[in-house]
Structure 1
């Protein structure tokens, strides 16, 4: 059982926590591989033992969160990431030998991955477990301590995780704080050794400004409008299944959910019919369906309704899936809502949707689809449905995105050996797997001089031997 939610910590309170973690890090600046592995295993064991309590807390915070989705999309990838890091940790920690320039031989060079210190992790509400444990895995694997700021929209889970993590690892390794936006703003002003933030592009800008005063290094995992391109050769049944599962998971509250679909004019109606069929088959009811999640909070729900109605008023064709006779507003649920012929000025076409609304945009030629994407801010994810090798190769080479997934949605994020991160407006910096270890380490170059060194001949006062050596070095 989680403890009652405590009063919000002040900037001074959090500063004291950071000071304590810094002292612990100074006493153990380079944890051994065995120590790091024990910490990762302790977190994994904590997740296994408390899986039901975690799912219940997130369910309560959302008003209804599918417990199957929590297990599938949060507990499973979090535990897999911990196991992957534990298995590969010793290899990641091994110093890398690097080439030494001919003129400096027989000296040696290597790169040593050094822990940074204390990592600040800002956790969003949409996947509060995975987006806490994923960054924490990278921090612990790299030998760091961490402080986590949980979202005010998931207070029950935040309080629970505070108890669980601090019990599993000890307050000298990790601290968890809860509170509203003012706590988050103060948290980002602390002089961490690195801050990893997951959230919206708008808030990411504020985080970057706050970190600038301390010259704190950042990893920003943002969002944006992640497109899906459906090529002429795609299997529309397969496309519809992937789009519906990717868009309706967590009711579309996923940073890499497909935000809009680019589909050829002659296939749009056929895809539309299949999307409706797939959504109705997967979720025959919505209001009291334990498999379908609610919109997390009232403000987010109102925004989605406003955007949908704005598109409708602007003349867009709006198609809502589901039975149509349920009171969904009472439980903050929204069906998969397909929007066609929407004016580009509508907010649903301009901003990240972050909900189960999916615009379909027609194109005539594949070149138009690529040009449409390239004319907009670079997305966190890009989805292509095609078996044509040339189209796949063109998409890989001619577009820039945080990640690219072919003939599927979302699943690239679950590959532990693939880096995850954004580019441009969708963020910067990658983590997961080895990239996460490296991101939260300092790659320290180490040069080891030998007893014999030609460099000694190049120290002043410069004489005849130095002049001869310089002529040789410069090829004169």
Structure 2
């Protein structure tokens, strides 16, 4: 007897394939969306985004257990709105055909590069900035003229409903929002997208890339890693501590470019820890009871963080809590700043990306030791320098690799509208933001135009010896 109802996984996969086919059909019907129409869509997104601000703030806080309005507005709404505005302002210029030199061998033909939409783009977004990291790639892909399937995180169900509302009506023909667990994500990455964009962990990124390779789908991977801070001897330690604390406590450290550990001259370690504790007491005096501290996303991640601390302490690390109480609330999965000293490489917190309000301190004797420490490990997504000596800062810059780089600041390099964002090696592949994002989601098409007057064709067909001599004289001389 045949089953009247298919199992949920099969049904979800069938629905996913139907959504992909529908979006592909939309693209095939209009493969080159006029720039004016793209701008109209982007203006609609901006208008709806601003109208839904309060709903996004409330939904995001509900998903996290508690999330400050500051983290949602400044970390999600503001950068997304700025991206839309920047894209609208510059899109006409980005989409213009780019003339290139044809050279004598192709004269009188003309050569140019035109930027063509790729097709249906897949975007897989994470939970830590559930609005910005979902909507910004979509905005950029739509600006390039593509259609989009957006797979949102299962950890943020309330925010997902507002994102669905954002991409409703006419926008639903250009971007469809997909919800589902890990099983659906695996199926999603197997679809024959024209381009696949993923933000998440390095481990999952490897699986995404493997699945995409079966369709020869190009991928952009925005991953993470352990982003270090180097404090040099020529430093204002109080200002450095402020920048580090901001980078570590914003969104409870649940940021791919958050400072993960600090390399500090041995003689400055005590002063750094003292400054961090003093600043934390001043700005987070109520600890986990305060309304300016975002919760860890869920119980699973809270347990992961506390397990990392326990493992480090069992191996001899010192755990410094700036406050005597209100540093942890398991029931509400809230965690205050925990500074960890006396660390070693066998501790799990020195092997894994922390992604929470834990900060490891690693002292060094010589600057070369700090540089070697970084270069012996996978390239991070961000590298931060705290110091006033320009020559020292430049030396570090040119002797290390990282996806992004900032001096005397943290996190803010990501907010530069007109600069690319992306990782290197294990921290990512490819870029988005600004013009580089538009180029990521576009096919740069080599275009040759030849008029009616083309004397070289006859010479080429007859393998003319005079032409051969001319070309040799032009291009094969020593």
The two structures have a TM-score, normalised by structure 1, of 0.96
Paired residue secondary structure (1:156):
helix
> 1:351-384, CA deviations, whole angstroms, 9 ceiling, x for partnerless residues?
1011111000001111111111111100000000
Match of 1:19 in 2: 21
Per-residue CA distance 1:73-106 (angstroms, 9 max, x = gap): 1100000011000000000001111111212112
1:133 matched to 2:139? The reply is no
- Please tell me the root mean square deviation across aligned C-alpha atoms, in Å: 1.7
Q: Which residue pairs with 1:84 in the alignment?
A: 86
Q: Which residue of 1 aligns with 2:57?
A: 55
Query: 4+ residue runs of structure 1 moved beyond 6 angstroms?
Result: 6-9
SS at the partner of 1:76?
helix
In the alignment, which residue of structure 1 is the partner of 2:36? 34
Q: Displacement of 1:326 after TM fit?
A: 6.1
Structure 1 residues 367 and 29, CA, compared in 2 at 3 Å: closer, same or farther? same
Are 2:425 and 1:424 aligned? yes
Q: Where does the alignment leave 5 or more consecutive residues of structure 2 unmatched?
A: 1-7
Q: Which runs of 5+ in 1 are unaligned?
A: 1-5
Question: 1:286/1:85 Cα in 2 relative to 1: closer, same or farther (>3 Å)?
Answer: same
Q: In 1, are the aligned partners of 2:384 and 2:406 still within 8 Å (CA)?
A: yes
Answering whether residue 282 of structure 2 is matched by residue 281 of structure 1, we say yes
Taking structure 1 as reference, are residues 253 and 95 closer, same or farther at Cα in structure 2, changes over 3 Å only?
same
Q: d(CA) in 1 for partners of 2:287 and 2:34?
A: 50
The offset of 1:54, in angstroms, is 0.7
Looking at structure 1, the residues matched to 467 and 314 of structure 2 have their Cα atoms a distance apart, in angstroms, of: 81
CA distance in 1, matches of 2:183, 2:296: 23
Q: For residues 214 and 324 of structure 1, do their structure 2 counterparts lie closer, same or farther at Cα, with a shift above 3 Å needed? A: same
8 Å CA contact 1:232–1:264 kept in 2: the answer is: yes
Q: 1:114 aligns with which of 113, 116, 130?
A: 116
1:396-436 per-residue CA deviation (whole Å, 9 max, x = no partner) reads 21111000011000000001001000000001000001010
Alignment: residue pair count: 470
Partner Cα distance (2:469, 2:408) in 1: 63
1:311-460 counterparts in 2 under 5 A?
311-325=312-326, 328-460=329-461
Q: 1:457·1:466 contact (CA, 8 Å) conserved in 2? A: no
The secondary structure found in structure 1 opposite 2:172 is: coil
* Shift of residue 202, structure 1, vs aligned partner: 0.5
How far 1:329 sits from its partner (Å)? 1.6
Q: Contact between 1:377 and 1:425, CA under 8 Å: does it hold in 2?
A: yes
Deviation at 1:197, TM superposition (A): 0.2
**2:215 match:** 214
Match of 2:103 in 1: 101
Q: What is residue 3 of structure 1 aligned with on the other side?
A: none
Per the alignment, residue 159 of structure 2 pairs with 157
SS in structure 1 opposite 2:168?
helix
Alpha-carbon spacing, 1:181–1:73, altered in 2? closer, same or farther (3 Å)? same
Shift of 1:242: 0.5
Shift of 1:237: 0.8
User: What is residue 247 of structure 1 aligned with on the other side?
Assistant: 248
Aligned 8 A contact 1:286 1:328 in 2: no
Match of 1:44 in 2: 46
Is 2:76–2:132's contact at 8 Å kept on the other side of the alignment? yes
Tell me, in whole angstroms, the C-alpha distance in 2 between the residues paired with 1:301 and 1:215: 38
Q: Distance in 1 between matches of 2:451 and 2:366?
A: 63
1:160 is displaced (CA, Å) by: 2.4
Q: Is the Cα contact below 8 Å between 1:78 and 1:133 reproduced in 2?
A: yes
Structure-2 separation of matches of 1:140 and 1:327: 43
Change (3 A) 1:440 1:9: farther
Q: What secondary structure sits across from 1:383 in the alignment?
A: strand
Return the offset for 1:118.
1.1
The answer (yes or no) to whether the contact 1:457–1:465 under 8 Å persists in 2 is: no
Pair 1:163–1:475, CA change in 2 (3 A)? closer
Distance 1:153 1:474, change over 3 A: closer
Deviates more, 1:14-23 or 1:418-427: 14-23
Contact 1:150 1:178 (C-alpha < 8 Å) held by counterparts: yes
TM-score (structure 2 length as normaliser): 0.95
Task: Name the CA distance, whole Å, in 2 between partners of 1:440 and 1:195.
Answer: 9
Tell me how far 1:451 sits from its aligned partner.
3.2
TM-superposed CA distance for 1:159, in Å, is 2.3
Q: 1:163 offset after TM fit, Å? A: 2.5
